[in-house]
Structure formats: C-alpha cells, structure tokens
Structure 1
C-alpha cells in the first residue's frame, strides 16, 4: 500500500543515526551542521542563517536530509528552524516535506513541524488500496493501474507533525488530509506505529471524524485502524458506509 510505504519512509527519515555530511557514519545520534552564509562578525551567537542535517545508511548513502533557514538554538537540546525542506530517499518512494516552522530536539531525536506542513510523495506502488477499499466492497478498477508508474500522494494538516523515534511513532494532527490517486483519507489525527526492528509500518490509526473516499463511495467513522499483519481495516465508532455502485447487491435485489 502506497500510504504505508510513504509513512514508513517518513518515520525512517529521522530514525537513521549518523553525522551530517560525513562519508563514514558512526553509530551515534545525528549531529546537526549549521552554516552561516554571512561573515562571522555579522552573525548572532546561537543563531545562523542555515541548517543542514543528514542521515546516512550503513553504506554511507544518504537516507534523508533536513534543511532550514534561520536556525536558532532555543535551548541546549532544541533548535528552531524556519522554511524547512525535508527529503527522504528510498527505492520504492521519495518524499519531500515542507513547513514554515519546526523544532529539532537532539536529545529526544525527534522533529516537530508546524504551519503549512505539506508532504509530497512519489511512489512506484499503489499504497492506498487496502485502506480505501474497505472490506473489498468497492470496485477494483484502481487495482488495474500499472504498478511501475509513479503515483503522487499529498499529505497536509493544520496542526503539528511530530516524529517520535524513541517510541517509533509519527503523528499528524488537526484536519489531516491524505490525497492520492486511489482516494482520500481525512481525520482529526493520524498515528502511525513502526516496528522497532524493521522500521516497517505495524499499524495506522485515524481518529475522530474519519472520512475515507473513493470516487463517489464514502465511509464515515470515529476511528479507522489498519494493521499490516492481516492487511485489514476496522471501522469503529458509529461506522457508516455509503456505496454508489451499479450492478451491486442492491441492484440485484431490486432486479435491475
């Protein structure tokens, strides 16, 4: 599933431990590299004009990077960034995340993004099929798409986005909207849990005012949970499914 691959990559973006801009990474927490683009005498202490943080895999290849402007150390452990551009690199998907502001906590190894957060993902796999095709009740027209074609998915939200690498969780808050070619998911909050060993998605939880759309078909619920192990979606909290499908069960019962 495309959304699952995407989220796994988003979670892995900041989970790789390495040093910024070093060919031979050491097994230690990522180190931030701040670079001032103006002379030293013009810069203010603890505040520089650019910030670059990179994560490398065991072979030294870039796994992810985070760049920001006007980096400022607001405490011994936190660095506030402006105009953030974060990228994740993978064999099956690539993601670019932008935000107006964010805070990197080097002791907790997590990043909080806020204000106009937008994630754009290009993936070679159809990701939303299982989440959108609830109980296989909807047409399988999207499954005929070519798997080799890259598809774009855009994730936006009005609240904060937090990647907690100690708990292996990613949180998207307030009016979260995931839009892809297979359909869309809207919820007040979406939480993704990752496997600590493999960093693969274990489950996805959409909470409060959950609306899943595909074409004219819509499901409503207070919670929707997807588990990777059994690849099923469970709707709870007054679930409602609205299906518009010619030749379906209703048409057969009515003799159409």
Structure 2
C-alpha cells in the first residue's frame, strides 16, 4: 500500500459566484491550501477527486455531479470513477457513493457497473472500492462477464489488476455460450488470465456429455477461447452415464478426447431399463 500518495480535490460551489477550490491531502492529514478538516460541511454542485502515487502518476479519479463534504467523508451523486493500474484500467459508474478520506475506501451504491480495459463487465447493487489496491468487494449478488465466461454469485472480491476474482456462494458459471454450466454451493476462485478455476461444495458440471458432481472441482480453461480443457474432481465424485451413475473418489475429464479417468474405488450404480427388467424375467 502506498503511504505517500496524494489526493487532490476540485470542488465547484453552487452559488451566484462559482468558486473553484483546490486541496492537496496527504495520508497524514491536509497539507497546503485551505484546511478542509476544519470544515463541518460544504455543499458543491460538481466534484472531482484524484489520487496520485509517489511518482506523481495519477492512479485513480472520482467525479460526481453533486457532493456534501464533511471532515471525514464526501457524499457523492452520479458517480464516474476511473482506476489506473499497472496491468489494466477500469471505469466505475454508480448513482451514489461515499468517499472515506482516511481509509481510502469508496463505497458505491444504487446500481454499480464496472468495465475493465480487457472488456470484463461487472454489475452489482453496491460495492466498496479500495483506491490503493484497486480491488472491489461486495457482499451482494454480482454478475461478472468476460470473454467466454459468464458468472453470477454472492459475496465477491474482484482483483482487476490480477485479472481474477472470488465468489463466496451460490455460484453459476456458464462457458461456451451456456453449453457448459458449472454450479456450486460454496466458493469459486477464478483466474481468468491463467484460465484456472476452483469450485467447492456440491459442485455440478453439466454439458452435452452428461453430469459430474463432486465436493471440489478444479477446471482448466483454454487461455484464449476460455473453453473447458480439463476438470479434476475430488471427493464424493459421481458421474452420470446415461441412466446410470459411477461413483469414485477422484475423476479427471479431458474435454478434447472426452475421456474420463476415475480412481479411488470406482463403482457403477446400475439402473436397469424396463426392457432389461423384462429380459431378466
């Protein structure tokens, strides 16, 4: 975390005479210009706030159509924000939000939309944005769409710099335009740059070849197309083969060859058809 970054605020007051005031805030307090911490509250009609790194490079920018300023927080409406990272940038939009000047946290509310420079789209009702780490966090439901991957779930930590994210529960992932659907009751950790995903708790994979259920599944995706290349399932593995099920402790599924390798006491659970029952009689 950068401790010597600066925040610059430009506010325009709504009065008969428009007043432009500039502040420079350091982490340890206010330096230069007017002493903003001494103000109890100020209303402005437009607001722009930028954060700069120790090298003087702008790392983020926050704009709002109107704002209420107190000693510790800035309440904003009609927010547009930009984050400038080393690996990629992203833009945020929200109807309202609060900037915590001490904690460097920005809470966005009333419908949040984000788009990264690689085209990933994020939508949720509200989230917290850490301007130092460029990370987004929300306890709410979130929809994340990137090339070849559509994901929904609840409780997200999104790391645009690492091109990865995690979800806590109620996860649904659709690959290949919905041809492959993966769900789980537990968490998902997905690195879409490397093409690696880990699903936990009652994981279920559905595709045209059948269904796989397990306690944990690691999925390898093609780096470019994001199609599933391999799935490694462990713990209470069950594979549906037609009307029958095969159980095991571990399974490896290769999508290109459609080959399934099961280890750890594999067992076939056979459900005879009506014709098979007649033959037995």
| Both proteins in one fold, TM over 0.5 | yes
Structure index of larger Rg: 2
1: distance between equivalents of 2:117 and 2:193? 18
2:106 pairs with 1:106 = no
2: distance between equivalents of 1:114 and 1:72? 16
Contact 2:210 2:242 in 1 (8 A): yes
What's the CA shift for 1:86? 2.4
Give the CA RMSD over aligned residues: 3.5
What's the CA shift for 1:246? 4.5
Structure with bigger strand share is 2
Give the secondary structure class of the aligned counterpart of 1:167: coil
The residue that corresponds to 2:261 in the other structure is 234
1:71 to 127, 132, 136: 127
1: distance between equivalents of 2:258 and 2:122? 32
Give the secondary structure class of the aligned counterpart of 2:107: coil
2: distance between equivalents of 1:99 and 1:159? 10
Point out which structure has higher relative CO (alpha carbons under 8 A, 6+ apart).
Answer: 1
User: What TM-score does the superposition give when structure 1 sets the normalisation length?
Assistant: 0.59
What's the CA shift for 1:99? 1.8
Q: 1:213 to 1:110 in 2, by over 3 A?
A: same
Long gaps (5+) in structure 1: 1-27, 58-62, 128-152
What's the CA shift for 1:188? 0.8
Over residues 30-53 of structure 1, what are the superposed CA-to-partner deviations in whole Å (9 max), with x where a residue is unaligned?
433222313xxx623311124333
Over residues 141-172 of structure 1, what are the superposed CA-to-partner deviations in whole Å (9 max), with x where a residue is unaligned?
xxxxxxxxxxxx4x331221111135320111
User: What TM-score does the superposition give when structure 2 sets the normalisation length?
Assistant: 0.55
2: distance between equivalents of 1:186 and 1:193? 17
Comparing 65-74 with 47-56, which one deviates more in the overlay? 47-56
Structure with bigger helix share is 1
Give the secondary structure class of the aligned counterpart of 2:198: strand
Comparing 65-74 with 192-201, which one deviates more in the overlay? 192-201
2:231 pairs with 1:204 = yes
Paired residues in the alignment total: 188
Over residues 154-213 of structure 1, what are the superposed CA-to-partner deviations in whole Å (9 max), with x where a residue is unaligned?
x33122111113532011111112356764321111111123355443311111111122
The residue that corresponds to 1:44 in the other structure is 99
